Amino acid sequence: MSVAYDEAKRVVRAFRKPAFYEVATRCNLFCEGCYYFSDNFTPTKEVQDLAAWERFFAAEGERGVTMAYFVGAEPALEQDRLHAASQYFPHGNIGTNGTVRIDPAIPYRIGVSVWGVDAEVDASLRGGRTFGKAIRNYAGDPRAIILYTLTRSNLGDTRKLAEICRDNDLPLTFNMYSPTQTYLRKLQEGEGNDRSFFRISNAESNLCWDDESLGEVRSMIPRLMEEYPETIVYSEAYNDWATRSGPLYDIDPETGVARDCHSRMVGQMRYFRADMEPGDEKCGTSDAVCSECRMYSGGWSSKFEPRDEDLRDAAAFSAWLGMIATLGRIFLIESPAPAPAFAVNRPDLASSAPRPTA
């Protein structure tokens, strides 16, 4: 137990001062129910001067940021900014759709988002076939972990994905799609489908969870963990929590905002937009509906401090220690000394994605 406790303290220390950095406002995909492009999306006037980014990240390093989350539409489209950051933060986590390989000199954890293995499922959920490219780009990359966003429509691909990850030396973990305010509004108002981020959903067929589908995930994941123990990086205790019925958080009845989610921009947490100005986001994924949120980022960050249920007996505390160890494996890598920053040409895959059609 003491070894597990020491490991938990090491992991938690890495996150003692986190910050989110929006490094890109364009994307080359159109994921259904997109977390980034929402009804109230207003394009930020990005800072283009690389020297300004270097000065900004240097100042953030001086501020003592220990964990930098690189977010936005698609951070891999702005790799010069990632290089600039790599000199200044001991830990970093980059969320990417996997279609553009991130330069090996960038020494941070890379969460490669996957939404489906079957070509039709993949294309319907992301607006294009991306899975094969993501696997080719990151097979065997020690920085990469495949982040499978579970939805009601792609659960049948999960076992095949675990097999592919095993064969390509890629660890696998899970996210659970969580609807945004934009997505729920379109469902509730019966809005017609568009050609961007609301292409396939309707009131009868959509990505939202119900008790039956939550139960399917709750029973499926432990079986897969037993079948692929060297590949899947997850926790049965976390899975039980994330698939419980009803809200996972204490929701303020007046605002609808979670009061106990540790992805909230409170305390030392900061969110900076691509103009380098602090944003007013409520959390790392601002448009997400707190009462429906099962997102891995908010869920795992909310496990940093044990709750009463984690302290009720030795078994519960041991399960909490196991969750923290798993959290470390998902979000951290042992980084070598940072490489010097240098400019790279930004991949010219696409212009900025449009705002969702109203």
pLDDT value of residue 227: 98
User: HEC states along 7-62?
Assistant: HHHHHHHHCCCEEEEEEECCCCCCCCCCCCCCCCCCCCCCCCCHHHHHHHHHHHHH
CA-CA distance, 206 to 212, in Å (whole number)?
Answer: 14
Tens of pLDDT, residue by residue over 3-51, are: 999 999 999 999 999 999 999 999 999 999 999 998 878 878 999 999 9
pLDDT of amino acid 355:
32
Neighbour-count burial for 317-326, b at 16+ CB within 10 Å, e otherwise: bebbbbbbbb
pLDDT, tens digit (0-9, with 9 covering 90-100), for 200-247: 999 999 999 999 999 999 999 999 999 999 999 999 999 999 999 999
What's residue 344's pLDDT? 37
Neighbours of 48 (CB within 10 A): 11
Query: In which residue ranges of the chain is pLDDT below 50?
Result: 335-358
pLDDT given at position 334: 64
Q: What is the pTM of this model?
A: 0.91
